[in-house]
Amino acid sequence: MKRQEMPFEQEQDEKGRKLDRRMFLAGGLVLAGASLAGCQTYPGLPDQAELPDEEFDYAAAYAALPDGDYTWPTINYKSFDRQYWRQVVEYKTREKPGTIIVDPYNNFLYWTLGNKKALRYGIGVGKAGFAWSGDALIRVKREHPIWRPPREMIARKPSLERYWVNGYPAGLRNPLGARAMDLWQGATDTLYRIHGTNQPTSIGKSVSSGCIRMWQQDVIDLFGRVPLRTKVIVLAKDPNAEA
């Protein structure tokens, strides 16, 4: 049966519609591919905050932060070296994404992201922060933790004995601040903590007491990213020191 010839104008219009449809579908696939390629997945908990980028609003990140019954004070972040601000940096490691690496010698905490990147926070390191190194897991996460002074601190300052049984109550003056993450090796509590601080000027410094201190806003940020059983490595030597 002979195919019926269609008018030239109709044939051109039909070809145009088919071409437009093919281009639309191809374009959709390209856009979908670009969208998928542009999606970034990060380790850790779902629904976590976006990572800092070039347009990150530090004023908002370090503004006064309402948190349950408390409001953590604004951090005067501009008075600190920018290296201690929360930021994504180049970081080479063989550890899996989602690992915390504490560098007490240079006052940094890294949360590894993969692809030679890490989210870095400035920290303050107390004497206890240099007393232990190695690998551990976060086995306990505490919001608004109480603080119980160690016996050696009570020996130096007997007035702290009253906090041994029930601990120092949560709040703005609590030495552990807004959050605490306790590190364990197997069934053993290392007594090593990553925690907030009510002394924000101690970030970037070695201080007399405590483990690993973070600004309240930063410890809350990290707390919202890392799940229980996150691996934590505390470096035993300065990575920048000459071999």
- The pLDDT, as a whole number, for residue 159 is 80
Residues 23 and 93 in one domain: no
Which domain range does residue 210 map to? 58-234
Q: What whole-number distance in Å separates Cα of residue 17 and Cα of residue 15?
A: 5
CATH of residue 92's domain is 2.40.440.10
Identify which of 16-30, 32-46, 117-131 has the greatest average pLDDT.
117-131
Q: Which of 117, 144, 179, 195 is catalytic?
A: 195
Residues 25 and 136 in one domain: no
Amino acid 70 reads Y
14/74 same-domain check: no
Residue 109 to residue 212: CA distance in whole angstroms: 9
- What is the per-residue pLDDT across 120-137, written as a single tens digit (0 to 9) for each? 999 999 766 567 789 999
Model confidence band, residue 14 (pLDDT cutoffs 50, 70, 90): very low
Residues 67, 179, single domain; the answer is: yes
DSSP structural state of residue 235: -
CA 42 – CA 96 distance, rounded (Å): 12
Q: What angle do CA 207, 64, 221 make, to 5 degrees?
A: 65
Supply the pLDDT for residue 152: 72
**Is residue 243 in a domain?**
no
Residues 150, 215 share a domain: yes
Please report the pLDDT score of residue 213 as a whole number: 95
How many domains does the chain divide into?
2
Q: Does 39 participate in catalysis according to the annotation?
A: no
Domain-located, residue 50? no
Whether 211 sits among the annotated catalytic residues: the reply is: yes
Q: Which of 211, 214, 226, 233 is catalytic?
A: 211
- In a domain? residue 53: no
Confidence of residue 242 (pLDDT cuts 50, 70, 90): low
Sheet containing strand 231-234, strands side by side:
87-90, 117-122, 108-114, 100-103, 231-234, 134-143, 179-185, 188-196, 212-214, 124-125
Say what the pTM is: 0.80
The answer to whether residues 62 and 23 belong to one domain is no
Question: Poorest-confidence range of 2-6, 157-161, 226-230?
Answer: 2-6
| Phi, psi (degrees; rounded to nearest 5) at 27 | -65, -40
Q: Are 210 and 164 part of one and the same domain?
A: yes
The reply to whether 128 and 216 lie within a common domain is yes
Asked if 200 and 100 sit in the same domain, the reply is: yes
CA dist 232 and 193 (Å) reads: 11
Examine residue 133 and state whether it is found in any structural domain, yes or no: yes
Q: Among residues 200, 190, 204, which one has the least CA distance to residue 103?
A: 204
85 and 192 in a single domain? The answer is yes
Residue located via tokens 């970030």: 203
Residues forming beta bridges with residue 192, ordered by sequence position: 183
pLDDT digits (tens, 9 = 90+) for 52-95: 999 999 999 999 999 999 999 999 999 999 999 999 999 999 99
What is d(CA 171, CA 174) in angstroms, rounded to the nearest whole number?
5
Residue 46 counted as domain residue = no
**C-alpha triplet 71, 146, 138: angle, nearest 5°:** 100
Q: Looking at the structure, tell me whether residues 225 and 192 fall in a common domain.
A: yes
Query: In this structure, is residue 218 part of a structural domain?
Result: yes
Who has greater pLDDT, 206 or 177? 177
214 located within any domain: yes
On whether the CB atoms of residues 64 and 77 are closer than 8 A, the answer is: no
Closest listed residue to residue 212, CA positions, set 117, 82, 122: 122
Same-domain check for residues 123 and 30: no
Q: What percent of the chain has pLDDT over 90?
A: 63
Q: Tell whether the model's pLDDT for residue 233 goes beyond 80.
A: yes
Domain-located, residue 210: yes
